[in-house]
Chains A and B, each alone.
Chain A
Amino acid sequence: MNVSDLDDADLARRLRQGCLFLETGPFISRIQTSIESVQAGIALLYAGFPVHDNAPFADFHVALTRPAGLRRWFRPQVNFLFDGWTPFKPLPLEQAFAMFEWGMNWCVVNHAHKYLVLHAAVVEKGGRALIMPAPPGAGKSTLCAALVASGWRLLSDELAIISPDSGQLLPLPRPVGLKNASIDVIRTRYPDIAIGQEALDTAKGTVAHMKPPGDSVASQQLMAMPGWVLFPRYREGSALALEPFSRAATLSRLVGNAFNFTVLGRPAFECLSRLVDDSGCYSLEYSSLDEALERLDKLEVSAS
């Protein structure tokens, strides 16, 4: 049973009563909220994800609630609760769905140290993963959204989850976060793809989330071997430039992008060394999405 199999009233009831068990990648989250914008966001953007009736075990127990008191009426706010505890300060109510997404990322980053978790977008084609670590503003999410809209499979737009034992990447194909100008870029290029409500004036500017492709969600249990590590950078007016990037520098940048490198220690270093050895490593500067997509489609599997 998927989210789309529940009618709006049933989904809203499950969320209100805190018995929506949502399966995203390797995790099952139990979600509680009476906030309508979050209910609507889940209905639209999580349509293809499996739900469980009364799962006996949930990895994360999360809730989004409105603080009581004056804040009910005056500049209403929203809190993210992890099993009844609030790890963050409240945000304006209009940002509730964005807070849900950030909170779900926080759950993984803080509790999934069985895996090595990098801050990177990951897409896949032909069984090989393209890993794109990048600082905010480099155009990582835009490129990721465009790649999955044109046939690549989405593993994640934020979190590369790597099993240190097998070196494989685990998909977590939750909605793709788009910021500021990239929201319109993607909306204009791909008018058929659903994008959720915009949240204005967040810490990251205007934020909206893109619905992940159904195929990516349906194959969310299918892991992928690393294929390429790419450091993308959008620069207005630049000519397309795909350059090989040194393996040593790639390794060092991946370490810097890992959330839990020091938690895992040696296994993390060995895992990333193997990953870099097995991958083609590149930097990409682009201004035209079309050119970038065309070039990335021709990437060949590294022969090392």
Chain B
Amino acid sequence: MNGGCDSILRALADPGLLLSMDLSDWDLFIRQARRANLLSRFAVMLRDQGRLQSVPARVRVHLESECALADQQKRVVEWEIGCIRQALDAIDVPLVLLKGAAYVAAALPAAHGRRFSDVDILVPRARLAEVEQALFLHGWFSEKQDAYDQKYYRKWMHEIPPLRHNQRRTVIDVHHAIVPRTMRLHPDPDKLMTSTRAVDEDERLRVLSPADMVLHSAAHLFLDGEYSNALRDLVDMDQLVRYFACQEEFWDVLLERSIELELDGPLYYTIHYLRKLLGTPVPGQLVERLDGRPAGGLPRRWLMPLFDRAVIAHHPSCSDHLAGIARWMLYVRGHYLRMPLYLLVPHLLRKSLRAPSGEA
């Protein structure tokens, strides 16, 4: 099924294999890894291991280019975190970083060579207006001025419309929950908030607890409709669980927490694909206990053939003739999970009618 992507998966498990590839292997590898948003991770990994010089010169040029981009993004994110911190200083609100920015701030291996487009933060819903006002005073504006877009985000979503800085053009996604308000699942944001950890001596700069970090990424991957970064997200989670596994009882906490937050479904698929694609070591007991949980939603045997085609690099060489339809069905599923039908149907109608003159 994912025969064409074998080289990415094998290289993730054993980076040494990259050094035995010839130029034509590299040609396909670079294209697949670039499409999966993983090329910079491989580039930084080879550089950190001092192996960049062993790569053919024509290829090294591209890897060095990716290293430069990855280094820049790390600098930019660190700078932005500082700016956001400063902006929120006056209102004394805890600032919880999510996803890529959190991995960077907490100096986790998942941050190495990771590419991202924005900084995601989580703040208490009750403080949202103050936070938005404080960010506004420091130059962050909402670009979506359309009244319907504003309503869509503010009434139904788990985040406000993206804010862009008027000079640096960087984007912040301000979340107050990790899944849309209209979703049937309700991972309680207060529970997430109370378990956050400080990353340094400033108690206000925080990240989710280890288990919540994994579950947030899992929810994002398997409940959303957009799978173009799916393999990248899976690699993130692989890095997270390998790193956290040395903490006592990490796996037990992860399972219990997933049930508490109603995210055992996404965790089931995460563990399945981590083991299948990346060979992530997971205790057999956890796998059995997850297997025994009721599936909820669509039967697993229906969803698996779809996920098989989505959780890979979205490059033509990795896709079979059913990949397009599978990803489309997951896109529809993502929307269906996002909102009940009585909200979703008018929303999609409105979007489709507006598209030709609007932003499309």
Contacts and interface: CB of A to CB of B under 8 A. Distances in A.
Contacts of A262: 72, 76
A57 B34 contact: no
Contact of B62 (A56, A111, A265): A111
A59 B69 contact: no
B274 to A, nearest CB: 27
Interface of A is mostly: loop
Contacts of A61: 31
Contacts of B120: none
A112 interface: yes
Interface in B57-115: 58-59, 61-62, 64-66, 68-69, 71-72, 75-76
Interface SS, B side: helix
A111 B66 CA distance: 8
Interface residues of B, number: 24
A83 B35 contact: yes
Contacts of A83: 31, 34-35, 315
A59 B31 contact: no
Interface residues of A, number: 19
Contacts of B194: none
A111 B68 contact: no
B69 A263 contact: yes
Interface in A47-93: 56-59, 61, 83-85
A263 B76 CA distance: 10
A278 B34 CA distance: 38
Contact of B26 (A28, A57, A84, A111): A57
Contacts of B24: 56-57
Contact of B23 (A57, A85, A113): A57
Given A83-B34, A265-B71, A56 B27 contact: yes
Interface in B33-73: 34-35, 56, 58-59, 61-62, 64-66, 68-69, 71-72
B316 interface: yes
A28 B26 CA distance: 14
Interface of A: 26, 28, 56-59, 61, 83-85, 111-114, 260, 262-265
11 contacts: A26-B61, A56-B24, A59-B62, A85-B35, A112-B61, A114-B61, A114-B64, A114-B65, A263-B69, A265-B71, A265-B75
